[in-house]
Amino acid sequence: MNTETTPAPKIRARAVYKTYDTASGPTAAVQDFNLDVADGEFVAIVGPSGCGKSTFLRMVAGLEGISSGSITITPGPEKDRPSNSVVFQEYAIFPWKTVIENVAFGLQMRGIPARERLEVARSWLDRVGLAKFADYYPHQISGGMKQRVSIVRALANDPEVLLMDEPLGALDAQTRVVLQEELLRIWEETRKTVLYITHSLEEAVLLGDRVVLMSAQPGRILEIYDIGLPRPRSFGTTTLPEFAEYRAMIWDKLSAEVTRAMEMQK
């Protein structure tokens, strides 16, 4: 009899290595990476620039081959659900499509009829205050709005996992805070499984159930921190003494890695 009660992780990475072939020989980008992300968990990844964060995320997304090891995304019971959707730092939305057409694009690709997909897209635009801009083109809206469009486009797809690589990285500080709060709200409603890369340790601690700290290149996992801050979280969470404690504890190690990465580049 199967007495297993722990559900399979949504994302399972085992002994993952990635080596790029470059003009100056092989470059080890990711080394012996092992990570389980539970269904409905929000995992943030931080590490010095060039440590292999994007490489790992792209491998999870299937956009990059794995040199050795394995990455699996466990499908849920729902049929025809895409395995993942990715949100990048650059607003990867089609300039020739309107806001609502962009949000509905993934559903269109899956053959969902126009009426239904526009209805889904409209309800997502509503949730992020963009309903009025449904028929605008990307060049007619601000950077913050464009990134909202990218995010809800990924969510409208209803993927098994949401993969985000510095999604708020290009935004000004105030817009970033607003979008962090929006992301928190949406995530707390949807409980999507999220893998989230950020250069901001504050953002990682604010959003994540766990924070994965990667080493300087080649990227290995140095430490995984459980962030026990209460939910729902908001910008106010950043003023809690525990928030400062988590940030200080992780920064201690992260800053050492950032210094090490810089030394390596000399």
What does the binding site for ligand ATP look like in residue numbers (CB under 6 A)?
Answer: 20, 22, 27, 29, 47, 49-55, 217
User: What is the closest distance, in whole angstroms, from the C-beta atom of residue 49 to ligand ATP in the complex?
Assistant: 3
User: What is the closest distance, in whole angstroms, from the C-beta atom of residue 162 to Mg ion in the complex?
Assistant: 17
Point out which residues bind Mg ion (CB under 5 A). Answer: 54
Q: Which does 167 bind (CB under 5 to 8 A by kind): Mg ion, ligand ATP, none?
A: none
Which residue, 46 or 179, is less far from ligand ATP as judged by CB? 46
One-letter amino acid at 128 equals V
User: What is the closest distance, in whole angstroms, from the C-beta atom of residue 182 to ligand ATP in the complex?
Assistant: 23
Which residue, 88 or 133, is less far from ligand ATP as judged by CB? 88
Provide CB contacts within 8 A for 195, sequence distance 6+: 11, 37, 43, 45, 57, 60, 161, 162, 163, 164
- Report d(CA 40, CA 231) in Å as an integer: 14
Which residue, 54 or 102, is less far from Mg ion as judged by CB? 54
User: What is the closest distance, in whole angstroms, from the C-beta atom of residue 54 to ligand ATP in the complex?
Assistant: 3
Enter the DSSP assignment of 95: T
Provide CB contacts within 8 A for 247, sequence distance 6+: 201, 202, 205
Which residues face 21 on adjacent strands?
26
Which residue, 98 or 217, is less far from ligand ATP as judged by CB? 217
Q: Which does 22 bind (CB under 5 to 8 A by kind): ligand ATP, Mg ion, none?
A: ligand ATP
- Report d(CA 32, CA 30) in Å as an integer: 7
User: What is the closest distance, in whole angstroms, from the C-beta atom of residue 165 to Mg ion in the complex?
Assistant: 6
Which residue, 52 or 138, is less far from ligand ATP as judged by CB? 52
